[in-house]
Amino acid sequence: MKKHAIDTLCVHGGVEPEFVTGAIMTPIFQTSTYVQESPGQAKVYDYARAGNPTRTSLEKALATLEKAEHALTYSSGLAAVQAVAQLLNCGDHVLVCDDVYGGTGRLFRRIFAKYGIEFEFIDMTNTDLVSERVRKNTKMIWAESPTNPLLKLIDLEKIGSVAKKNNITFVVDNTFASPIFQNPLELGCDIVLHSTTKYIGGHSDVIGGCVMLNCSQLYDELKFLQFAGGSVNAPWDCFLLLRSIKTLSLRMQRHHENGIILAEFMKSRKEFSEVIYPGLKSHPQFDIAQRQMRGFSGMISARLQGNFDVVQNFLKKLKLFSLAESLGGVESLVNHPETMTHASVPADHRKKIGITSDLIRFSVGIENVNDLIDDITQAFD
């Protein structure tokens, strides 16, 4: 399967007709356990926390998309983040990109820090800074690219070589790019993860997460952690995700096309003092975007001129863009990071990195782009 193009892989990758009936679509194996032939002799699966055929199909499909040997799926994106962080030990030091998703930062600051793991949040667009901050006990580098919500791009090849040289596990949260537009494992990363709630799910009707990797030893550790801890996704959710993956490539293409048009439109409007989109020439890491991404998705961040009241009025007046947490669905969403997705980030850190009240994050859906432009225009009026 690996030799096929990504859009073919979306339709066929990892999925085979069901072996008893030949059903072309993977059935929902809604079962918690499996009858054994004799004590300790399971046919294939013994208990659904350990494995389920619908989940196996999903894992195979996801591994194919990220060109990975292995994949594991979880009950949410944060459950996937938590699973990977559980590879760490007391006394370890982790470098994290400074505007990492608020929930990931909260998990690190409020939970894993209690277990004696130190997290240092730095601007990873500065590769030299990453090398400088590596210590003897640095065990993991944690990056998003594009980052949430400032859409900074991190040079994955360069950071990957810093990690390799220092024997550090390099983790990339690839949620914003999706496997259609970026494959971090091919750029030197060790573990890639996604919130499948977002682009991979794509219809705002399922919560899930996944981890993909090539290293069998790390996979075995993660598999054990999942079995021991129990964070798995339900068969029905696996089915929904399998169904979503069929159209992932088509959807991403449309998100990308709409994203470029809308970002250019927003840039032409004086109401916005800044528009951040990896596909705009004005993006500070535009050259990295050209090198490591095949498309730029539908995530745009922008700063609206005026005070918080102006921002609030604008958000309330939008009609097609719904004010909601989350992103990556077929319908357009808008988010105010300071008070919503990144409210849990300490206020001084938020201010320092630029998550201020004027910042708005748009998740551009697959609607007709002219209707989206009209919606923004009427909200200005």
Ligand X SMILES: Cc1ncc(COP(=O)(O)O)c(C=O)c1O
Q: Is the peptide bond before 284 cis (omega within 30 degrees of 0)?
A: no
One residue of 52, 125, 138, 175 binding ligand X per CB under 6 A: 175
Exposure b/e, 73-109, CB count within 10 A at least 16 = b: bbbbbbbbbbbbbbbbeeebbbbbbbbbbbbbbbbbb
- Which residue among 54, 73, 178, 197 contacts ligand X (CB under 6 A)? 197
Residue 340 and residue 343: Cα distance in Å, rounded? 5
Single out the segment in contact with ligand X by CB under 6 A; choices: 31-39, 99-107, 237-245, 248-256: 99-107
Q: Does 178 bind ligand X (CB under 6 A)?
A: no
- Tokens, residue 54: 């619908």
Q: Is 198 a catalytic residue?
A: yes
Q: Which is nearer to ligand X, 57 or 76 (CB)?
A: 76
Whether 106 and 121 have beta carbons less than 8 Å apart is answered as: no
Among 55, 152, 198, 361, the active-site one is 198
Binding residue for ligand X (CB under 6 A) from 52, 56, 195, 226? 195
- Positive or negative torsion for Cα 73, 68, 147, 373: negative
Stretch that binds ligand X, among 59-67, 100-108, 116-124, 289-297 (CB under 6 A): 100-108
Examine the residue annotation and report whether 49 is marked as an active-site residue of this protein.
Answer: yes
Residue 35 Cβ, how far from ligand X at the closest point, in Å? 33
Structural element, H or E, at residue 243? helix 235-245
Q: How far apart are CA 151 and CA 285, in angstroms?
A: 10
DSSP 111: I
Using CB under 6 A, which residues numbered 53 to 92 contact ligand X? Answer: 76-78
Q: Which of 34, 49, 254, 294 is catalytic?
A: 49
SS3 350: helix
Nearest CB to ligand X, comparing residues 139 and 198:
198
Closest CA to 171 of 149, 151, 152, 154: 154
- The residue among 54 and 104 lying less far from ligand X, judged by its C-beta, is 104
Cα→Cα distances 225→97, 231, 242, 296, 339, Å: 25, 9, 24, 34, 34
| CB of 337 vs ligand X, minimal distance in Å | 10
Q: Does 142 bind ligand X (CB under 6 A)?
A: no
Q: Is 209 in the site for ligand X (CB under 6 A)?
A: yes
> Contact with ligand X (CB under 6 A): which of 59, 66, 155, 173?
173
Pick the catalytic residue from 92, 98, 173, 358: 173
Residues found near ligand X in the complex (CB under 6 A): 76-78, 101, 103-104, 144, 148, 173, 175, 195, 197, 207, 209
| Catalytic (active-site) positions | 49, 101, 173, 198
